[in-house]
Amino acid sequence: MRRNRPHPRRMRVSGTGTGARLSAFVLGPIWIGANVIGTRVWESDSVNDLSFWFYLSVALGLAFMVRSLFCGVVIDANQLKIVSWYYTRRYPRNAIAAITYQSYAGLFTNGGGGANLLSTRTKMIGVRLTSGREKLWPVTIMTNHRCDEVTQWLGKHLDKPIERVQDF
């Protein structure tokens, strides 16, 4: 029988990497398919010239999809870990002053927010550190309702207040 522990060793925060996985598994096959079609259209006697670039682009598409499986937020007894597309950040629990959230501003909104449909319907989460620095993670894109649930859950499990970062 499993014992219920209040703080398991490691816990992936549900919903924090869903946007990354959704975008990767929609855009990844499109990228790979476009490369397959493009290679077939431009195929000639010099197929060896294209094969390196073809295999490289397919590998990049597959890497994009595989990396998305690891994106999201993970907490354990000592730290909060954010796994993004290009990096992984670890923040000790005692270095976090508050859990923050803001309307989404990232790749899909050209780095800005504003009143576009994606920014008004989605949010991303982050932290304010005890040093005063704020860090938001576009990889945690999620719906407004889900973001409210996740920030409440994180605030409760990390015993930190929740703050909304001023939108643009």
> Could you tell me the residue range of the domain that residue 140 belongs to?
86-164
Is residue 148 one of the residues assigned to a domain?
yes
Q: Give the Cα separation of 88 and 104 in Å (integer).
A: 20
Is residue 36 one of the residues assigned to a domain?
no
- How many domains are contained in the chain? 1
Q: Please, which pLDDT band fits residue 3 given cuts at 50, 70 and 90? A: very low
Q: Write out the H or E segment, with its range, that includes residue 153.
A: helix 144-158
Tens-digit pLDDT profile for residues 42-98: 665 555 566 777 888 889 999 999 999 999 999 988 899 999 988 899 999 999 999
CATH of residue 111's domain is: 2.40.50
Q: Which residues contact 90 (CB under 8 A, 6 or more apart)?
A: 79, 80, 81, 82
Give the chain's radius of gyration (CA, Å): 20
Is residue 109 one of the residues assigned to a domain?
yes
Is residue 129 one of the residues assigned to a domain?
yes
Reading phi first (left if > 0) and then psi (alpha if -120 to 50, else beta), residue 56 is in alpha
Confidence (pTM)? 0.76
Q: How would you classify the pairing of strands 96-103 and 122-129?
A: antiparallel
Is residue 49 one of the residues assigned to a domain?
no
Is residue 122 one of the residues assigned to a domain?
yes
What backbone torsions phi and psi does residue 41 show, to the nearest 5 degrees? -65, -45
